Amino acid sequence: MAGGEVEVVDLVKMFNEVTAVDGINLQMPAGEFFSMLGPSGCGKTTTLRMIAGFEQPTSGQILLDGRNMAFTPPHKRNVNMVFQNYALFPHLNVFDNIAFGLRRDKRPKAEIRRRVGEALELVQLTGMEKRKPGQMSGGQQQRVALARALVLQPAVLLLDEPLGALDAKLRKTLQIELKELQQQVGITFIYVTHDQEEALTMSDRIAVMSAGRVEQVGPPQHLYEEPTTTFVADFLGVSNLMTATARGESNGRCKVSLGEFALYAANGDVSTTGETRIVIRPERVRLEAHGTSGENRIPGMVERVVYLGNGNQIIVGLAHGERIQALVQNTGDELAYRQGDPVQAYMPAEALRVLTDTGTAPLEDDPRARPAVRPVEPIAEEASTPNVNV
């Protein structure tokens, strides 16, 4: 479907003296699955509601296919929204729930039957047209809500934590289905969640938000492997964050001190000096026999072993006083480590990253860059796209 590009420029939303969204800039190309990820109160849902038209910005622009729609009513934007509680009409059956918007638009009966049938097939609910929402599981209700939104053929679909009310196993299944659905229909999905696994599983790109600002934007692997701030490293996935003293760059690596122990970090701001933070993911930490020699090794003691099913989480107290986690995959063999065992923690230089916390990183490749405000004039209300049903 043509269209669906979304851009927010210097977007600000204030509620009295509280700044909920603080001058964010985001670009979402047509056909992308874009997620806004962050803790409660970070501004992600407020941003989504402004894109939908349910909230008006204090300042800034919301560009839908290049047109500023910041103050255009919701029903005149070519977007639709799926809510966490689905908002289905309990007295209507599945067919009538999905057909509601089409009937409000006074579409011909034959067209309504055809489009509702296509939507049901899309969400794998063919044959359930006469069921009431109360007769369906949570996952089926979520599919009905998706079908009701997609049947109107929006250019952009907004999703406000639509899987939040489901159990963990069903959420995992629907994460994959939702991504497949987005690829099938080819429209822009903008997804809000506080669940990092959801964002990593489904998204083409993710904006990590904190305190009304964008910390970092990029593809899931980029954010996980190359966080630019302590907040992103700590929020996205499990991280070993350690305070260190940077001694400067040496052969493209940063020499850092953890107490009396010296390590080398090959990624991040390797030229920094002074107190800093370094990070390594648990799956990159390797535990070795106590006394093993070599670079980037610190002695420690196993403090706890946590069985996770597919692996074991090993909590290690390092000799300089900090704790780290190591993830050892379950291969079926007996685990070599027990509580109280002395070990050597090997943290490869290429897995260690020096973090910088000099501010937010609005764009994915250059944390200092901000997109220029386009000189786009607001369009007249009567010229807006009229076929929106949010």
23 and 147 assigned to the same domain: yes
CA distances from 147 to 163, 247, 295, 343 (A): 15, 57, 56, 55
Whichever domain contains 119, its CATH number is 3.40.50.300
- Read off the tokens for 203: 């998204």
Q: What are phi and psi of 148, to 5 degrees?
A: -60, -35
Does the structure show a pLDDT above 70 at 38?
A: yes
Query: To which H or E segment does residue 209 belong?
Result: strand 205-210
What CA–CA distance (Å, rounded) separates 54 from 50?
6
pTM of the full predicted structure?
A: 0.83
Whole-number mean pLDDT of the chain? 87
Which percentage of the chain shows pLDDT scores above 70? 91
CB neighbour class for 15 (10 Å; exposed up to 12, middle 13-18, buried from 19): exposed
348: left (phi over 0), alpha (psi -120 to 50) or beta: beta
269 and 145 assigned to the same domain: no
- Read off the tokens for 217: 């934007």
Range of the domain at 193: 6-226+364-383
Does the structure show a pLDDT above 60 at 208?
A: yes
- Calculate mean pLDDT across residues 334-361: 84
Residue 387's pLDDT is what? Answer: 39
The residue assigned the tokens 């250059």 is 366
Residue 172's pLDDT is what? Answer: 84
Does the structure show a pLDDT above 50 at 373?
A: no
Residue 2's pLDDT is what? Answer: 57
142 and 283 assigned to the same domain: no
26 and 163 assigned to the same domain: yes
90 and 153 assigned to the same domain: yes
247 occurs within a structural domain: yes
Q: Residue 376's pLDDT band (boundaries 50, 70, 90)? A: very low
250 occurs within a structural domain: yes
221 and 245 assigned to the same domain: no
215 and 340 assigned to the same domain: no
List, for residues 264-285, the tens digit of each pLDDT value.
999 999 999 999 999 999 999 9
234 occurs within a structural domain: no
Residue 386's pLDDT is what? Answer: 35
Q: Three-state SS string across 175-197, please?
A: HHHHHHHHHHHCCEEEEEECCHH
Residue 374's pLDDT is what? Answer: 33
Residue 86's pLDDT is what? Answer: 77
177 and 247 assigned to the same domain: no
What CA–CA distance (Å, rounded) separates 124 from 139?
11
Whichever domain contains 254, its CATH number is 2.40.50.140
Which percentage of the chain shows pLDDT scores above 90? 69
Overall domain count for the chain: 2
196 and 341 assigned to the same domain: no
* Strand order across the beta sheet in which 240-250 lies: 261-265, 253-258, 240-250, 273-280, 353-355, 267-268
Q: Residue 242's pLDDT band (boundaries 50, 70, 90)? A: very high
Query: To which H or E segment does residue 47 belong?
Result: helix 44-52
Residue 356's pLDDT is what? Answer: 76
96 and 197 assigned to the same domain: yes
341 occurs within a structural domain: yes
List, for residues 106-162, the tens digit of each pLDDT value.
999 999 999 999 999 988 899 999 999 999 988 889 889 989 999 999 999 999 988
170 and 132 assigned to the same domain: yes
349 and 375 assigned to the same domain: no
List, for residues 50-98, the tens digit of each pLDDT value.
999 999 999 999 999 999 999 999 989 999 998 878 788 999 999 999 9
389 occurs within a structural domain: no
Residue 380's pLDDT is what? Answer: 36
